[in-house]
């Protein structure tokens, strides 16, 4: 399928204008943020990969907030905040947009628990109208396992023509859960949705034809699936775990 017919292309490109007065302050000290410049986004799926602390969540959160979503995840109507970790980056992010998604959602693994609690609180209100949990499979997300709550959200809450930000969705998902996510991504991008995904998982990263950005201490660059660090590292490890363990435990 031609690239132009995949995905919604709601975010065409993103530019970060590093303010001269704040260049020495976080988050502009993160190499991937400092050297971001202007980057195209795939109309269907754009991935961010990189080591812990390379700036993936900082970028995904700033992007999600820039398009009107809640910094801790969830929908644009979820205005709760349990920690004031909101980044200064959003103000300096220019998002080149086209069209309006029918719906949007930010699945942020590290604070998904708070989203589930927020939905339960809203659903306890006797004057609250239709239960929000109906959009998440009809059951409180707290009464499902960690992975089940992610899968319920992915399969019920996400839909065609949407714009979705996922930050480490694999943190709750088994191998088969990751395959379910790939299937959801495939179905929804064929139906005009766009995804921006930060991941460490070579399985989650396997959506065909996607744009992959690799973030590291030198900055940010595009890469291919077979050259992406999560793929190379996991392949190497599985090829010979004993070699890694020998080095790791060399001092024991």
Ligand X SMILES: Nc1ncnc2c1ncn2[C@@H]1O[C@H](COP(=O)(O)OP(=O)(O)OP(=O)(O)O)[C@@H](O)[C@H]1O
Tell me the closest approach of the beta carbon of residue 75 to ligand X, in angstroms. 21
Which 3 state secondary structure label does DSSP give 15? Answer: strand
Tell me the closest approach of the beta carbon of residue 137 to ligand X, in angstroms. 27
Instruction: Round to whole Å and give the CA distance between 41 and 38.
Output: 10
Among ligand X, Mg ion, none, the one that 30 touches (CB under a kind-dependent 5 to 8 A) is: ligand X
Residue 57 touching ligand X (CB under 6 A): yes
Tell me the closest approach of the beta carbon of residue 50 to ligand X, in angstroms. 5
Scanning the structure block, which residue is given the tokens 């909101």? 86
Quote the crossing angle between the two packed helices 229-239 and 241-248, to the nearest 10°. 100
Residues 120-179 that bind ligand X (CB under 6 A): none
Nearest to 104 by CA among 70, 55, 139, 129: 70
Contact 65, 215 (CB under 8 A): no
| Pick 56 or 157: Cβ nearer Mg ion | 56
Residue 53 touching ligand X (CB under 6 A): yes
Residues 194-233 that bind Mg ion (CB under 5 A): none
Instruction: Round to whole Å and give the CA distance between 106 and 59.
Output: 13
Considering only residues 7, 43, 50, 73, which one is a binding residue for ligand X as defined by CB under 6 A?
Answer: 50
Count, residues in the chain: 252
CA 211 → CA 3, 100, 122, 191, 238, distances in Å?
Answer: 11, 21, 37, 18, 25
| Pick 57 or 201: Cβ nearer Mg ion | 57
Per-residue x/- mask for Mg ion, residues 6 to 25, rule CB under 5 A? --------------------
Tell me the closest approach of the beta carbon of residue 138 to ligand X, in angstroms. 31
Tell me the closest approach of the beta carbon of residue 57 to Mg ion, in angstroms. 3
Considering only residues 5, 81, 85, 174, which one is a binding residue for ligand X as defined by CB under 6 A?
Answer: 85
Residues 35-64 that bind Mg ion (CB under 5 A): 56-57
Tell me the closest approach of the beta carbon of residue 60 to Mg ion, in angstroms. 8
Strand partners, 103: 162
Instruction: Round to whole Å and give the CA distance between 157 and 223.
Output: 31
Among Mg ion, ligand X, none, the one that 24 touches (CB under a kind-dependent 5 to 8 A) is: none
| Pick 119 or 231: Cβ nearer ligand X | 231
| Pick 119 or 197: Cβ nearer ligand X | 197
Instruction: Round to whole Å and give the CA distance between 180 and 185.
Output: 9
Which 3 state secondary structure label does DSSP give 162? Answer: strand
User: Diameter of the chain by CA atoms?
Assistant: 63
Nearest to 48 by CA among 167, 158, 163: 167
Q: Which residues bind Mg ion (CB under 5 A)?
A: 56-57
Q: Which residues bind ligand X (CB under 6 A)?
A: 26, 30, 50, 52-58, 85
């Amino acid at each position: 399928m031609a690239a132009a017919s995949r995905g919604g292309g709601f975010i065409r490109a993103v530019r970060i204008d590093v303010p001269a007065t704040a260049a020495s302050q976080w988050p502009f000290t993160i190499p991937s943020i400092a050297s971001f410049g202007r980057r195209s986004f795939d109309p269907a799926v754009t991935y961010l990969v990189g080591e812990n602390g390379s700036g993936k969540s900082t970028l995904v959160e700033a992007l999600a907030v820039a398009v009107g979503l809640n910094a801790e995840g969830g929908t644009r109507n979820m205005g709760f905040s349990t920690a004031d970790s909101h980044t200064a980056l959003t103000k300096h992010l220019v998002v080149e947009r086209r069209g309006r998604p029918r719906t949007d959602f930010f699945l942020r693994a590290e604070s998904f628990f708070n989203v589930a609690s927020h939905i339960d609180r809203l659903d306890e209100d006797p004057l609250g109208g239709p239960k929000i949990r109906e959009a998440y499979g009809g059951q409180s997300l707290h009464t499902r396992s960690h992975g089940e709550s992610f899968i319920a959200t992915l399969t019920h809450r996400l839909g065609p023509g949407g714009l979705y930000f996922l930050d480490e969705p694999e943190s709750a998902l088994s191998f088969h859960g990751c395959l379910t996510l790939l299937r959801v991504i495939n179905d929804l991008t064929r139906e005009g949705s766009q995804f921006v995904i930060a991941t460490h998982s070579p399985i989650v990263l396997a959506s065909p034809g996607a744009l992959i950005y690799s973030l590291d201490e030198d900055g940010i660059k595009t890469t291919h699936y077979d050259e992406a660090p999560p793929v190379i590292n996991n392949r190497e490890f599985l090829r010979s775990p004993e070699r890694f363990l020998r080095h790791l435990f060399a001092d024991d």
